[in-house]
Amino acid sequence: MAPQKNMKARKILLASLLLLACISAVYATYQQKKVWAVPEDVKKLKNPLQPTPSNLTAATQIFNDDCAECHGDHGKGDGPEAMMHDPPPADLTDLQHMKTVTDGAIYYQITEGRKPMPSFRNRLTEDQRWQLVLLVRTFSQPAVVPESKHVPAPSSNPEVPKKPAQSPKN
Chain residues in the site for ligand HEC (CB under 6 A)? 36, 66-67, 69-71, 81, 85, 87, 89-90, 92, 101, 106, 109-110, 114, 116-118, 120, 132, 136
CB of 88 to ligand HEC, least distance (A): 6
CB of 42 to ligand HEC, least distance (A): 13
CB of 26 to ligand HEC, least distance (A): 17
Pick the closer one to ligand HEC by CB: 81 or 147. Answer: 81
C-alpha to C-alpha distance for 36 and 39, rounded to whole angstroms: 10
Pick the closer one to ligand HEC by CB: 1 or 37. Answer: 37
- Centre a 10 Å sphere on the Cβ of residue 122 and count the other Cβ atoms it contains: 8
Pick the closer one to ligand HEC by CB: 49 or 132. Answer: 132
CB of 155 to ligand HEC, least distance (A): 18
Pick the closer one to ligand HEC by CB: 11 or 27. Answer: 27
Cβ(32)–Cβ(88) under 8 Å?
A: no
C-alpha to C-alpha distance for 27 and 79, rounded to whole angstroms: 25
On the question of a cis peptide bond just before residue 116, with omega within 30 degrees of 0, the verdict is yes
DSSP 81: T
- Non-local CB neighbours of 97 within 8 Å, separated by 6+ positions: 90, 91
C-alpha to C-alpha distance for 95 and 70, rounded to whole angstroms: 19
